Amino acid sequence: SLLSYDIENGIKTLISGTTISNGIVFTKNSKKMYFIDTPTKVVKEYNYNLYSGNCQFLRKVIKFNNEGEPDGMDIDNKGNLWIAEWGGNAVSVWNPDNGKQLARINLPAKNITSLTFDNNENLYITSANSNKKNYKKTAKLFFLRKNYE
């Protein structure tokens, strides 16, 4: 489950039935929330109310059909979703309005776990070790300067 904590009201469940909650991001205006439950290989979009903390499911935005599974996620200044692909050797970039993949950045690590932008729009990407022969010691921190597209 995805839970929320409020000092006055305590804990409440926002999304129930999740298995491995991972990526969660909000649009700049905080009206939309995107959420990843990794084993489903789906990114879902929710209406989000900043004041009440409630969310309402809108639609499935992205369905992963490749080897990788969506893991960590961030949103850029244009509103595109950047998704770390566990088992996919890559970070993929998606337009949440139409669900189309815009770009893919392949990396020398099997399990890409998370990513985040800094204030200068540089990208930091983390990965985990793998039991795959060529990727055993691939727990790394990757840094990509702005203008990597």
34-85, pLDDT tens digit by residue?
999 999 999 999 999 998 889 999 999 999 998 899 999 999 999 999 999 9
- pLDDT score, position 6: 84
SS3 (DSSP) at 62: strand
- pLDDT score, position 87: 93
**Above pLDDT 70, what percent of the chain?**
95
Mean pLDDT of the chain: 92
- pLDDT score, position 149: 54
Burial annotation 38-57 (CB, 10 A radius, 16+ → b, else e): bebeebbbbebeeeeeebee
Q: Cα-flanking dihedrals φ and ψ of residue 64, to 5°? A: -80, 125
Q: What would the two tokens of residue 53 be? A: 């903390």
Residue 71 catalytic?
Answer: yes
Q: Which of 37, 71, 74, 76 is catalytic?
A: 71
Q: pTM, whole model, 2 decimals?
A: 0.91
Compare 67 and 94 and report the one with higher pLDDT.
94
Rounded to whole angstroms, the maximal C-alpha distance in the chain is: 51
